[in-house]
Amino acid sequence: FCILFYSAYFLILFSIFYYLFLFFSFCYGSQEKSQRSPPSAPINLLSSVNGTTVTLEWAPPLDKGGRQDVTYNVICHRCTWGGGHCESCGPRIRFLPQQMNLAQGSLSISNLLAHTNYSFSVESVNGVSDLSFQSPRFVAVNITTNQAAPSQVTAIDQQNVGQNSVTLLWSQPDQPNGIILEYEIKYYEKDKEMQSYSTLKSKANRTTVFGLKPATRYIFQVRARTSAGCGKFSEALEVETAKATFLLFFLPSIFLTIRRFGQQGRECCHSQLCPSSAHNRHCGYSKAFQDPDEEKMHYQNGQESKFYLDSHTYEDPCQAAHEVMREIDASRIKIERVIGSGESGEVCYGRLKIPGKREVPVAVKSLKPGYTEKQRRDFLSEASIMARFDHPNVIHLEGVVTKSKLMMIVTEYMENGSLDSFLRKHDGQFTVLQLVVMLRGIGAGMRYLSDLGYVHRDLAARNILINGNLVCKVSDFGLSRVLDDNPDAAYTTTGGKIPVRWTAPEAITFRKFSSASDVWSYGIVTWEVLAYGERPYWNMTNQDVIQSVEEGYRLPAPMGCPVALHQLMLNCWQKEPEERLRFSQILGILDKLIRNPQNLKCTATLNRFTQTLSERSHIDFTHCSSVEEWLDSIRLGRYQENFALGGYSSLGMVMHMNIDPESSILSPTRYLHGRNFSHLVTIFAKLLMGCTFGFQAASLLPTPFLLATLKRPKKYFMS
């Protein structure tokens, strides 16, 4: 009985405690649950890719689990292109500020591989996530990094070596960093790289180099190219070609060589490239000896230190033409309309049929029938120069047509035409920053040409083409020449016309052109862009321009021109070539302005440009005693008769003159509005005050500018 009693007692007591436990669990269970649940996944995950760096941004989760200690972890995986396999990114990846326990919703990830697929997961966790049986909630994003220049080709080997040829084989770079577009093979005779070298392009990782000398040691190097640029050349491979065999075995090769040369001579003479005597000389490298995927470009010059072929050194331009240019079948070109014309030819809009691809718009420059020998040579020389360039800010040559009656140069089509006319058409419609971006493109193209050793000689806004995306490209290489591989090298010419308004003083006086003279021209182009295509020096004569520049005068800042850009122009217009900026420095300045556009808000004024004169001996006006002396002292003596006929016989009368806009005292100004002419009279009055009170008027206003204002359009005075 006692046992049963105590058993019932303990059973009742246990039941009471059990139900009390259930009661408290029911009352406080929901509150405990809300304090212990993990958060939901982050939302609005955004990614941006810049080269091999990725920036991630996200918003906090909608449900934080009732807690405020939410942090984030970022998990990185590198995936194959097929998407079937992903692996951890490894320790080389850098996370800023950190990879785990992030308090903020942003992160920068660097040191990624180029042209690689990555998957990033952002987890949200809080203080009770480790107690949960569930995995942290996350949001993921997949990105692909940008292409970059490939790594160095590490393995290059010879396969077959003959008397006149070598077959090379190499492996793909360890880090392609993108799609390999082609390989470039550089080769030269041992110890003669500074005299000449050749390059060969191939889309495969194997090629045969022809045209070598027997029993000669050659150096070969290979590099890969992607859309982002070229990698480094491989280590040098030295190969010695085989020795020449005895005459009995050599006769067949002599016969084949003569036969090949004869075929090339006949082919050249059947085109319009060569005169009838062309069969007596070799017309250049024939692509018949190359694989279809290869294209050879030969750079050679008899003078030491010249790296690039100058077509003007060839007796016949067909030799230079066939070495570098791609011949296009005329039947593949459909000309639709004429978009420009000149003295020796026309420029047309057309479409080029590319096998296996759609038609592409092109510009076709043709040489009119009846051309002279000089026009023919200049035409081919310009094309052979263009064929050597490959830069997004230099006009691209598609090819040439020389085997038909109408000789043509085919280039990419630029929808907006020449920059000067485009700017005049859209006067005032762009922001200063947009204009700076245009100038940056021109500068990039010129730096590329300068690095190759080319001097343009005719850089002007009329020779810059602009496409529908406002990308500017340097064109018109009719006057271009190649320089020695020396930053101070110069090209001296003995004749021909010179674009005076765009040309540096030393080039005008001594016919000495260099990269520094191109920098001077770039300064003028900068002025043209900021002035929306206005003519430099307005209606001043070429002789006035030459004299004024020689005396130290420079163009004033255009209306609304930032001080920084006008200072850039002045640095391009230094009298001594070695004191001018280099194109690399110009790009650095423009890049800083683009990154800090607030520096473009400070614009130049009239007072600003009057301080841009170089130091010079000023004229002393304290001895002016007559209108004639005053006009002579400021080099406006030509207007003495005008002032006399107007009745202005004393300086006092000139100070108080109130000239009608229709007055003939200064006939070139008749077209100006009254308020603009009043502005001009004010300038005269200030000059006269400088004469009367002993001021040095030359420091007040440059005489060439005064001459220009007498003839300049209304637009300047609107500023």
Catalytic residues: 458
CB atoms under 10 Å from CB of 17, counted, come to 9
What's the CA gap between 648 and 627, in Å, rounded? 8
Q: How many CB atoms lie within 10 A of CB 465?
A: 23
Sheet-wide strand order for 53-59:
43-50, 53-59, 106-110, 94-96
Is 715 a known ligand-binding residue? no
- Is there a contact between 420 and 528 (Cβ–Cβ < 8 Å)? yes
Q: Using CA of residue 479, residue 581, residue 397, residue 299, what is the dihedral sign?
A: positive
**CA dist list (Å): 628 to 609, 646, 649, 681:** 28, 13, 9, 17
DSSP 292: T
Residue 693, both tokens: 């009170």
Residues 6+ apart with CB under 8 A from 428: 532
- State the Cα–Cα distance between residues 412 and 397, nearest whole angstrom: 7
Q: Is 305 helix (H, G, I), strand (E, B) or coil?
A: coil
Helix (H) / strand (E) element for 631: namely helix 627-633
Neighbouring-strand partners of residue 490: 514
What is the residue-wise DSSP string for 655-676?
A: HT----TT-STTGGGTTS-HHH
The answer to whether residues 12 and 4 touch, using CB atoms and an 8 Å cutoff, is no
For residue 378, what are the CA distances in angstroms to 273, 383, 385, 449?
12, 9, 11, 19
Contact 419, 462 (CB under 8 A): yes
Q: In Å, how far from its chain's centre is CA 664?
A: 49
**Residues 603 and 595 sit within 8 Å (Cβ to Cβ):** no
Tell me phi and psi for residue 103, to 5 degrees.
-90, -25
Closest CA to 659 of 629, 634, 639, 633: 639
Backbone dihedral region for residue 252 (phi beyond 0: left; psi -120 to 50: alpha; all else: beta): alpha
Distance CA 116, CA 99 (A): 20
Contacts of 277 (CB under 8 A, 6+ apart): none
- Please tell me the distance from the alpha carbon of residue 405 to that of residue 330, in angstroms, as a whole number: 10
Task: Residue count of the chain, please give it.
Answer: 719
Dihedral pair phi/psi, residue 705, rounded to 5°: -65, -40
Q: Which amino acid is at 558?
A: P
Range list of H helices, 488-612: 505-510, 515-530, 542-550, 563-572, 583-595, 606-609
Q: Which residues contact 404 (CB under 8 A, 6 or more apart)?
A: 272, 330
- Could you write out the DSSP letters of every residue in 459-517? --GGGEEE-TT--EEE---TT-EE--SSTT-EEE-SSS---GGGS-HHHHHH-EEEHHH
Residue stretches of the annotated binding site for ATP: 365
